[in-house]
């Protein structure tokens, strides 16, 4: 999805779904998180110019292929200097019947990976220093 207006609408819809699911949660952290997400200035899609939703069909072998495809898209984007992020907070869109109908996604399909892509505002962060002497466990 590259339509700015639609991405903004989906951002708001995903926030609304999450907030409605967790605002009364007995888990204090989730309730606080839902309260913060309810603020209008909070954007879970970070105003990214591209929003990709990877779905799996019910007859697919499993969700692993979708997750691998998503990760490959993210790696390819990185190689081109494009930033990406897996937006778990947008997972609720996969159960929203209105959204599924509007986008033509069959009801029996499952949203596996909501992803955003865009050029980062900041340059790439340097990789942390590695300690080559650290070995957790060798199995032979």
Write the pLDDT tens digit of every residue in 68-87: 999 999 999 999 999 999 99
Domains of the chain: 4-118 (3.40.109.10)
Q: How far is CA 110 from CA 10, 52, 133, 135, in A?
A: 17, 14, 43, 38
Mean pLDDT across the chain:
91
Between CA 37 and CA 44 the distance in angstroms is 8
pLDDT at 101: 94
Q: Is the pLDDT of residue 127 over 90?
A: no
Count of other CB atoms within 10 angstroms of residue 111:
21
Q: Is the pLDDT of residue 90 over 90?
A: yes
> Strand (E) positions, the chain?
50-56, 83-86, 110-118
Q: Is the pLDDT of residue 138 over 90?
A: no
Write the pLDDT tens digit of every residue in 39-77: 999 999 999 999 999 999 887 678 999 999 999 999 999
- What percentage of the chain carries pLDDT values higher than 70? 96
Q: Is the pLDDT of residue 121 over 90?
A: no
pLDDT at 133: 75
Q: In what order do the strands lie in the sheet with 110-118?
A: 50-56, 110-118, 83-86
Strand, coil or helix: what is 132? coil
pLDDT at 123: 73
Q: Is the pLDDT of residue 29 over 80?
A: yes
pLDDT at 136: 72
Strand, coil or helix: what is 124? coil
């Amino acid at each position: 999805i590259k339509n700015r207006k639609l991405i903004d609408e989906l951002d708001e819809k995903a926030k609304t779904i999450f907030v409605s699911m967790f605002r009364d949660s007995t888990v204090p952290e989730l309730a606080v998180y839902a309260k913060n997400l309810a603020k209008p200035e909070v954007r879970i899609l970070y105003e990214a110019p591209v929003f990709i939703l990877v779905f799996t069909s019910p007859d697919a072998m499993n969700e692993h292929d979708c997750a691998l495809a998503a990760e490959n898209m993210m790696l390819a984007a990185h190689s081109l200097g494009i930033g990406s992020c897996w937006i778990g907070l947008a997972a609720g869109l996969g159960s929203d019947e209105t959204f599924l109908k509007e986008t033509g996604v069959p009801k029996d399909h499952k949203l596996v990976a909501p992803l955003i892509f865009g050029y980062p505002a900041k340059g790439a962060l340097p990789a942390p220093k590695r300690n080559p002497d650290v070995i957790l466990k060798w199995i032979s």
